[in-house]
Amino acid sequence: MTQMNMVQAINDALRIAMRKDERVVVMGEDVGKVGGVFRVTSGLYDEFGDARVVDTPLSEGGIIGAAVGMALYGMIPVPEIQFSDFIWPAYDQIVSEVAKYRYRSGGEYTSKMVIRTPVGGGIRGGHYHSQHPEAQFIHVAGLKVVCPSNPYDAKGMLLASIADPDPVLFFEPKRVYRAAKGDVPEGEYTVPLESAAVVREGRHVTVIAYGAMLYEALDAAQKAAEQGIEAEVVDLRTLWPVDIETIIASVKRTGRLIIVHEAPKTCGFGSELVSLVCEKAFYHLEAPPVRVTGYDTPFPYTLEMEYLPLSHRILPAILDTARAV
């Protein structure tokens, strides 16, 4: 075991995957010599050279389109999109091509790749360095979407994503890139995709969170406990396909549900989770499900801490929901 932050853990996973399988290639803007603007690919260029750790021209559509071609050939591309806010020039390739290759070719071709990209706010990034666009990808059939919250899961789930037969969007919560630290085993291991983790047990209310907001949910749960309310906190880890069993089991225990995410409320992932819980556990609900999310505005700069669904907004939601009769 070694203490690592998320940047180091993801870097470790990339290194292990690249050593093990020479088909794995990292490509993107500034991923080479400088090791990525967040240093996630640090040192890979020195070890694997510029044929496998590739600084590309500045075009996200080019990066993902070329990655599709490489995948069709049989490589395993792990492209990086520097910020998820800049993924849109590649959206056509991701939605129309990456997501549909297996289906549209009757299973003959796949464009298996792992698209890594940092997500989320709270880093003084304004509109274009803060968004958390999971909903726009979950809605597209054929993509898996992962968003780990800690170094152990980040490494294990990145290795699982690289081993997975389907294309994966791997969202890295950049607000906790360095803040989230923990023990990480040396060498290869995987954390299965589609497995949520109950990170705090409680009987009064279920709080679902992921990425950087998990820590806010845990903080709020701790404060609620001081007032006698026991919140169960579920870290989704994989957003899609979601671990529905863990969610439903928890809601059946608590009868109350809060969903926390940074992305705007309307048509956010929370909407889907509420619908699923209503479909599968409606008669177990004792209070209306609540979403604590970013607002339906573009991501602001100066007021970002008011925009984000931080602990100060989650706590009242927990208390109100737990006490609702």
Partner 1 sequence: MTSAAHESIYTAALSDDDVVRVLGPDGSLDARNDPGLSPEEVVHLYRHMVLTRLVDDRLVTLQRQGRIGFHIGSLGEEAAIIGSAYALRKQDWLFPCYREFGAALLRGMQLERYIDNMFGNANDPVKGRQMPDHYTCKAAQFGSVSSPIGTQITQAVGFAWAAKIQKRDLVALTYFGEGATSSNEFHNGLNFAGVFKAPTVFLCRNNGWAISVPTERQTASRTFAEKGVAYGVPGVRVDGNDLFAVIAVTRDAIRRASAGEGPTLIEAITYRMGGHSTSDDPTRYRDKSLLDPWADRDPLARIKRYLDKQGWFTEAEEQKLRTEIDARLRDVVEAAEKTPAPSLESMFDDVYASLPWHLREQRAEVLAGPRAPSAHH
Ligand X SMILES: Cc1ncc(C[n+]2csc(CCOP(=O)(O)OP(=O)(O)O)c2C)c(N)n1
Q: Which is nearer to partner 1, 169 or 310 (CB)?
A: 310
Q: Identify which range of 106-114, 122-130, 162-170, 197-205 contacts partner 1 by CB under 8 A.
A: 122-130
Number of residues near partner 1 (by CB under 8 A): 44
User: Is 65 an interacting residue with respect to partner 1 (CB under 8 A)?
Assistant: no
**91 contact choice in partner 1, ligand X, none (CB below 5 to 8 Å, kind-dependent):** none
Residue type for 323, please? R
Q: State the nearest-atom distance from the C-beta of 217 to partner 1, in Å.
A: 15
- Each residue 255-274 as x (binds partner 1 by CB under 8 A) or -, in order, gives ----------xx--------
User: Is 91 an interacting residue with respect to partner 1 (CB under 8 A)?
Assistant: no
Handedness of CA 276, 122, 231, 227 (dihedral sign): negative
Residue 129 is among the residues annotated as catalytic for this protein: yes
Query: CA distances (Å), 77 to each of 69, 119, 272, in order?
Result: 10, 20, 30
With CB under 8 A as the contact rule, the residue among 23, 72, 89, 320 that binds partner 1 is 89
**34 contact choice in partner 1, ligand X, none (CB below 5 to 8 Å, kind-dependent):** partner 1
Find the angle CA(60)-CA(33)-CA(55) to the nearest 5 degrees.
Answer: 25
- What is the Cα–Cα distance from 52 to 73, expressed in whole angstroms? 15
Angle between the N-to-C axes of helices 213-226 and 311-323, in degrees from 0 to 180, rounded to the nearest 10: 50
Q: State the nearest-atom distance from the C-beta of 139 to ligand X, in Å.
A: 22
Q: State the nearest-atom distance from the C-beta of 302 to partner 1, in Å.
A: 3
- What residues make contact with ligand X under the rule CB under 6 A? 29, 58, 60, 82, 86, 89
Q: Identify which range of 3-11, 135-143, 224-232, 298-306 contacts partner 1 by CB under 8 A.
A: 298-306
Query: CA distances (Å), 274 to each of 67, 214, 244, 248, in order?
Result: 35, 18, 12, 11
Helix ranges, 25-118 (H): 44-48, 60-73, 91-92, 101-104
> Cβ(258)–Cβ(233) under 8 Å?
no
User: Is 43 an interacting residue with respect to partner 1 (CB under 8 A)?
Assistant: no
Site residues for partner 1, window 196-255 (CB under 8 A)? Answer: none
Residue with tokens 């109350």: 256
Backbone angles phi, psi at 316, to 5 degrees: -60, -35
**178 contact choice in partner 1, ligand X, none (CB below 5 to 8 Å, kind-dependent):** none
Any idea which residues carry the catalytic annotation? 129
